[in-house]
Amino acid sequence: MALAGAGTLTGGAYSEGRVAGYVFKLIRESLRHTQSRLAEELGVAVATVQGWESGRRPLMAISAGQFLALQAILRRLGASSSALEALGLGVEADLFIGEALNTQHAAVDPTRHLLSSWVITRPFTEIIAWLVSGKEPNNLADLRGRNTRRGPVAARPTLSIDECGHVLTHIRTVAERADRTSPRGQLLARQAYYLLGFDGEPETAQWLTDMYRNDRRLVPPRRGWSESWPLARSTASALTRLGDPEPMRRFISERLTDQAGEVANLNYWAFWVGDLIGHQSSDAFIQTTPVDSWHGAQLTRHLLDRLHGNIGFLELNIHTLWSLIQIRPDIIRDPATANELAEKIAQLLDENLVSTETRRELEALRFGVAVAARR
């Protein structure tokens, strides 16, 4: 199968291609193919492969059919499903970055923005954060491990200082213009906040703090679940990442106080870690998805691996694990899981870093583990 005509394609309106191009290069190198050999397999000119990898010929500019054919050939050559998923995410990231770079701030329309059209996934978020913070996405680790190329290799696709500044200003602008009293506007704003949390600049931290205060005045918080619950969670997460744990502590004490709030927290976590599969066009699923529709194995592992570090996230992780075990008691009936949890609880209690309420949850978890061990 060859990509007939692909060698003649140009970027057209889709002028951004650096992220997908870089992932494409990682895939090629993991397959141990030269550019010329892969070009032969694909039925395109070597210059086409070079253009894709550099981003000069954006992969998003080829047709959907050609992209599917490209993925099929890469799969036949040995590319993993996770690698092909990363390639698709790279195209999505290029679309997002391209829109930001090619839109003047005065022309930003929040009602038509990509961040208002779907709930961004953890892998997509990690790709965007990669450009801002330099932290490599988890789903590219396998490609890195299989890459045997020697010599200097660019560590990641990069934005220039001016480009990065433009993208961050673009994200701030769409958040400021979003209608934060409507569900769609809150989806846009909260996702913009979350992405901005990966920018370590003090200016961004202050802007997020100001927006947090403004939003609490604009949409006064209610205890437990409300339509502003997702907005509050994402804002607290962004500020926690930037070093302020108090909004997260306030979120836990205000928003995780009833069954609806707990269900929302568990469902969002399940979506984030991949237990709850599928794209979502709005935040409605957070409240409407039955918690017995996902198994929780990935969420359990995710939380157990993160019972340390940033105090705001730590307290949310402890609370979420405590809440998860309430509805999935079989989790601690597994001896290996129970032993691991018991060791981590003992360490956390000895360190005495968490709030009084979180400490009570740790004590409850320790009691639950002890009871399960006697059965």
User: What are the pLDDT digits (tens) for 11-54?
Assistant: 334 689 999 999 999 999 999 999 999 999 999 999 999 999 99
Return d(Cα 115, Cα 291) in angstroms, integer: 26
Q: Is residue 327 part of a domain?
A: no
Of 252, 278, 294, the domain-final residue = 294
Q: Is residue 290 part of a domain?
A: yes
Return d(Cα 88, Cα 22) in angstroms, integer: 12
Give the number of other Cβ atoms within 10 Å of residue 186's Cβ: 25
Helix residue spans in the chain (DSSP H): 18-30, 35-42, 46-54, 64-76, 81-101, 122-133, 141-146, 161-177, 183-196, 202-218, 229-241, 246-255, 259-273, 285-288, 297-304, 311-327, 335-351, 356-374
Give the number of other Cβ atoms within 10 Å of residue 223's Cβ: 12
The percentage of the chain sitting over the pLDDT mark of 90, rounded to a whole number, equals 81
Q: Within this chain, do residues 74 and 174 fall inside the same structural domain, yes or no?
A: no
Helix (H, G, I), strand (E, B) or coil at 89: helix
Query: Under a CB-based contact definition with an 8 Å cutoff, are residues 355 and 249 in contact?
Result: yes
Q: Within this chain, do residues 219 and 130 fall inside the same structural domain, yes or no?
A: yes
Residue 74's identity, in one-letter code, is L
pLDDT of residue 141: 72
Residue 119, by phi and psi: left (phi above 0), alpha (psi -120 to 50) or beta?
A: beta
Q: Is residue 313 part of a domain?
A: no
284 or 144, which is more confident: 284
Q: Is residue 109 part of a domain?
A: yes
Average pLDDT on 338-362 reads 95
Q: Within this chain, do residues 122 and 189 fall inside the same structural domain, yes or no?
A: yes
Q: What is the pTM for the complete model shown?
A: 0.91
Q: Is residue 56 part of a domain?
A: yes
The range of the structural domain enclosing residue 108 comes to: 103-144+156-294
CATH code for the domain in which residue 75 is found = 1.10.260.40
pLDDT in tens, 172-223: 999 999 999 999 999 999 999 999 999 989 999 999 999 999 999 998 888 9
Q: Within this chain, do residues 71 and 167 fall inside the same structural domain, yes or no?
A: no
Q: Within this chain, do residues 223 and 285 fall inside the same structural domain, yes or no?
A: yes
Of 241, 269, 294, the domain-final residue = 294
Residue 253 has pLDDT above 50, yes or no: yes
Would you tell me the crossing angle of helices 297-304 and 311-327 to the nearest 10 degrees?
Answer: 150
Q: Within this chain, do residues 128 and 268 fall inside the same structural domain, yes or no?
A: yes
Would you place residue 105 in the very low, low, confident or very high pLDDT band (cuts 50, 70, 90)? confident
Q: Which of 114, 158, 144, 185 is nearest to 25 (CA)?
A: 144
Q: Within this chain, do residues 46 and 121 fall inside the same structural domain, yes or no?
A: no
pLDDT of residue 220: 87
Average pLDDT of the chain, as a whole number? 91
pLDDT of residue 4: 45
Q: Within this chain, do residues 118 and 233 fall inside the same structural domain, yes or no?
A: yes
pLDDT of residue 145: 62
Return d(Cα 158, Cα 133) in angstroms, integer: 10
The percentage of the chain sitting over the pLDDT mark of 70, rounded to a whole number, equals 93
Residues 6+ apart with CB under 8 A from 69: 1, 2, 3
pLDDT of residue 223: 92
pLDDT of residue 3: 58
Q: Which of 315, 320, 313 is nearest to 296 (CA)?
A: 320
Q: Is residue 331 part of a domain?
A: no
pLDDT in tens, 254-279: 999 999 999 999 999 999 999 999 89
For residue 190, give Cα distances in angstroms to 314, 320, 353. 21, 20, 29
Of 294, 322, 344, the domain-final residue = 294
pLDDT in tens, 236-245: 999 999 999 9
pLDDT of residue 9: 36
pLDDT in tens, 115-127: 999 999 999 999 9
Q: Is residue 260 part of a domain?
A: yes
The token pair at 235 is 């804002």
Residue 95 has pLDDT above 70, yes or no: yes
The secondary structure of residue 219, as a DSSP letter, is: S
Q: Within this chain, do residues 57 and 196 fall inside the same structural domain, yes or no?
A: no
Distance of CA 75 to the CA centre of its chain: 25
Give the torsion through C-alpha atoms of 130, 136, 139, 144, to 10 deg.
130
Residues 6+ apart with CB under 8 A from 187: 115, 116, 119, 230, 282, 283
Q: Within this chain, do residues 41 and 68 fall inside the same structural domain, yes or no?
A: yes
Q: Is residue 321 part of a domain?
A: no
pLDDT of residue 364: 96
Q: Within this chain, do residues 82 and 111 fall inside the same structural domain, yes or no?
A: no
Place of tokens 């705001």: 312
pLDDT in tens, 146-177: 665 555 556 789 899 999 999 999 999 999 99
Q: How many domains does the chain have?
A: 2
pLDDT of residue 236: 97
Q: Within this chain, do residues 192 and 270 fall inside the same structural domain, yes or no?
A: yes
Residue 252 has pLDDT above 70, yes or no: yes
Would you place residue 225 in the very low, low, confident or very high pLDDT band (cuts 50, 70, 90)? very high
pLDDT of residue 6: 42
